[in-house]
Amino acid sequence: MARVSDRLVEEKVRGDELLSALYMELENDEELQTALRLCNDMVVKRLYYNDHGPTHARIVAGSALEILDILARRGLKPVTVQQGLNQRDAAVVVLLSAYLHDIGNMIHREMHHLTGVYLASGILSRILPKHYPDLRTQMRMRQEILHSILAHDDSVQALSLESGVIKLADGTDMAEGRARYPYTYGKSDIHAFSALAIKSVELKEGDEVPLVVEVDMVNEAGVFQVEEVYGKKIETSGLERFVTVRLLLKGKYLKSYSISS
């Protein structure tokens, strides 16, 4: 069991030299960190959306690595592994994809998954050669990372386990306080109130399905966030058969939400 937070990613990379190095490189990359702050300038201050900056990047990265580990334990194989690389390479794909997935928001919320591919490509050109000197391996990794960034949008079908993981992880950033930005800037619709209703999100390995996303709410407004917002991500993740969302109301079981294949 893992609670979704901006600290989870540090736990997930700890003890792995490559993942730790890559994470620190992302955290200390001035261009990337500036771009992520500019994402919030665009979507928070101008559009009254919730946080899409560095904190969101960390949360999604930690959640994605945890989901990848859960699915791998249940025998699901990443495309990266199917194509001849290894599980650690798949984790690298997931870490980089998750951290970079929303970078396109610095240009505009509209089509940010497309502009994100363009912006992320330049950053990958600096990062990947340091750790993957073989050009073919670089290109294979780049393909899966850029596909995952493109496919994180609700409207795009994910075509790999890695991209499905990013999409599922993206939606787990919905715990209390994560809607404080639109709420503070005057946004008071069902999206803001439903997000404010969610107390915590935890990731667990299930019995009947590999992944259980457990969402604890302080009131039932949070159901909207799960069914209408997160549900759209599950539908196009390609992993809908493998995930169930378990809803709790103040710690007590309320209902389960899943999408049949």
- Same domain for 158 and 187: no
User: How many other C-beta atoms lie within 10 A of the C-beta of residue 112?
Assistant: 24
Q: Which of 170, 204, 219 corresponds to the end of one domain? A: 170
- Same domain for 110 and 52: yes
CA distance 141 to 138: 5
CA distance 63 to 194: 21
Please provide the distance, in angstroms rounded to a whole number, between the alpha carbons at the two ends of the chain: 25
- Same domain for 205 and 166: no
Contact present, 132 and 141 (Cβ < 8 Å):
yes
Q: How many domains does the chain have?
A: 2
40-54 pLDDT per residue, tens:
999 888 887 878 899
Q: Which of 144, 170, 196 corresponds to the end of one domain? A: 170
Tell me if 81 is assigned to some domain.
yes
103-134 pLDDT per residue, tens:
999 999 999 999 999 999 999 999 999 999 99
197-248 pLDDT per residue, tens:
899 999 999 999 999 999 999 998 889 888 888 999 999 999 999 999 999 9
- Same domain for 161 and 137: yes
- Same domain for 113 and 90: yes
- Asked if pLDDT for residue 146 goes beyond 70, the answer is yes
- Same domain for 252 and 210: yes
- Same domain for 160 and 185: no
Quote the domain boundaries for residue 101: 2-170
- At residue 204, the 3 state secondary structure works out as strand
CA distance 238 to 174: 21
| CA neighbours closer than 13 Å in the CB half-sphere of residue 219 | 7
Within 8 A by CB and 6+ apart from 76, the residues are: 161, 210, 242
What are 11's two structure tokens?
Answer: 């736990």
CA distance 151 to 166: 9
What is the domain-level CATH number for residue 94? Answer: 1.10.3210
| Entry pTM | 0.94
- Same domain for 164 and 210: no
Tell me if 175 is assigned to some domain.
no
Tell me if 10 is assigned to some domain.
yes
